[in-house]
Amino acid sequence: MKDRGNIIDLLNSKDSDELKALIDDTESIRRQKIGSKIYLRGLIEFSNYCDRDCLYCGVRNSNSRVVRYKMDQNEIIAIIKSAYQQGYRSVCLQSGELDSTAQINWLTDIVKSIKDISSGTDKQGIGITLCVGELNYRQYLKLWEAGAHRYLLRIESSDRDLFNKLHPPAQRYEKRIECLEALKDIGFQVGTGVMIGLPGQNAEHLTRDLEFFQALDVDMLGMGPYIPHSDAPLSRTKVRSILDPYTTTLKMIALARSLMPEINMVASTALQTIDPQGLKMGIKAGANIVMPVLTPPRYRDQYLLYKEKKHTALQTIESELEEIGYQVKHDQWGDSAHYFRRLGRDCPNG
């Protein structure tokens, strides 16, 4: 096992042989521990209204260039029914932050309707991941009781100072930690993650991020390169990251896989956007989840958290992954094996 010094050196290294060796080593550990199955989450970005003002994000509240939309319940359910027909057994509902009671009630109804979608033979139905930001305990509980069972809330950076440089003062680091703890306490499979290549971020920050993920005992991770958005203020900073966002993301995925062998980890859309090989390399480095975007094309230009966001069709994903020896699994939830281990239960993934 690598110690802290080794990890920092690896993250700082510009040696491509070292990167290749890290990925190759991790790939063999991964094949032993979790095999070569890849699970899908159909991503539905159902609304871009957002109360928050994250300094890096294209749909931040103050970006007046964004045309705001919110899909209606029928539209969301129709997309999910069609995804179900295509073999998807898990969806991820994502939006800007919404914390009014009316919004939560609306989302709770949608979660309940999704739970009703299943064929006669398949009682399991559809697994639901939510990614709708910082809510209070009662609101999370309500969504859990309605049937959502995974939740993604990235910490963005586990370093308080860096976090504060990415968010306005009203968005507090402590609140985000409280939310992650609430989600865990309720029983969700909990996912977090960071952006990589942020202005001012260095290898020490990322090493501490890995320690943070381990201390929180996360079930899922989503890490992707930071991609500046010209309408977001962070894109105008003169501060640079000394780390290359693409290769450093691959290293972080590989390191996370070797430190936390049974978690679920996504080859993020941002990773696919920043390099044409991003999907394949993210999977080789250790990711086992892909989230194809199911948001209808007419909304996609209004859901650009960063510019030039890439959309890859499911068939392309499947054939690219088959070429490197991985199989996309249809008809399975693909829950985090780590979650079941943490709770001392048998993992249904087998």
Minimum CB distance to ligand 5AD smaller for 84 or for 163: 163
What is the footprint of ligand 5AD within residues 153-172 (CB under 6 A)?
154, 156
Minimal distance, residue 128 CB to ligand 5AD, in Å: 17
Minimum CB distance to ligand 5AD smaller for 303 or for 333: 303
Minimum CB distance to ligand 5AD smaller for 83 or for 270: 270
Minimum CB distance to ligand 5AD smaller for 88 or for 306: 306
246 binds ligand 5AD (CB under 6 A): no
Minimal distance, residue 307 CB to ligand 5AD, in Å: 8
What is the footprint of ligand 5AD within residues 188-207 (CB under 6 A)?
195
Minimal distance, residue 84 CB to ligand 5AD, in Å: 24
Minimum CB distance to ligand 5AD smaller for 56 or for 213: 56
SS3 of the chain? CCCHHHHHHHHHCCCHHHHHHHHHHHHHHHHHHCCCEEEECEEEEEECCCCCCCCCCCCCCCCCCCCCCECCHHHHHHHHHHHHHCCCCEEEEEECCCCCHHHHHHHHHHHHHHHCCCCCCCCCCCEEEEECCCCCHHHHHHHHHHCCCEEECCCECCCHHHHHHHCCCCCCHHHHHHHHHHHHHHCCEEEECEEECCCCCCHHHHHHHHHHHHHHCCCEEEEEECCCCCCCHHHHCCCCCCCCHHHHHHHHHHHHHHHCCCCEEEECHHHHHHCCCHHHHHHHHCCCEECCECCCHHHHCCCCCCCCCCCCCHHHHHHHHHHCCCEEECCCCCCCHHHHHHCCCCCCCC
Both structure tokens of 237: 């900073």
Residue carrying the six token digits 């990773």: 271
Minimal distance, residue 31 CB to ligand 5AD, in Å: 28
Report, in angstroms and rounded to the nearest whole number, the Rg of the chain calculated over CA atoms: 19
Minimal distance, residue 100 CB to ligand 5AD, in Å: 20
What is the footprint of ligand 5AD within residues 36-75 (CB under 6 A)?
56-57
Q: How many residues of this chain interact with ligand 5AD, rule: CB under 6 A?
A: 12
Minimal distance, residue 291 CB to ligand 5AD, in Å: 11
Among positions 229, 280, 309, 338, the unique one binding ligand 5AD when judged by CB under 6 A:
229
Minimum CB distance to ligand 5AD smaller for 95 or for 349: 95
180 binds ligand 5AD (CB under 6 A): no
The stretch among 67-75, 112-120, 219-227, 321-329 that binds ligand 5AD (CB under 6 A) is 219-227
**CA-CA distance, 78 to 288, in Å (whole number)?**
27
The stretch among 73-81, 220-228, 256-264, 319-327 that binds ligand 5AD (CB under 6 A) is 220-228
310 binds ligand 5AD (CB under 6 A): no
Minimum CB distance to ligand 5AD smaller for 71 or for 291: 291
For residues 221 and 265, the answer to whether their CB atoms sit within 8 Å is: yes
Residues of this chain that bind ligand 5AD (CB under 6 A): 56-57, 154, 156, 195, 224, 226-227, 229, 270, 305-306
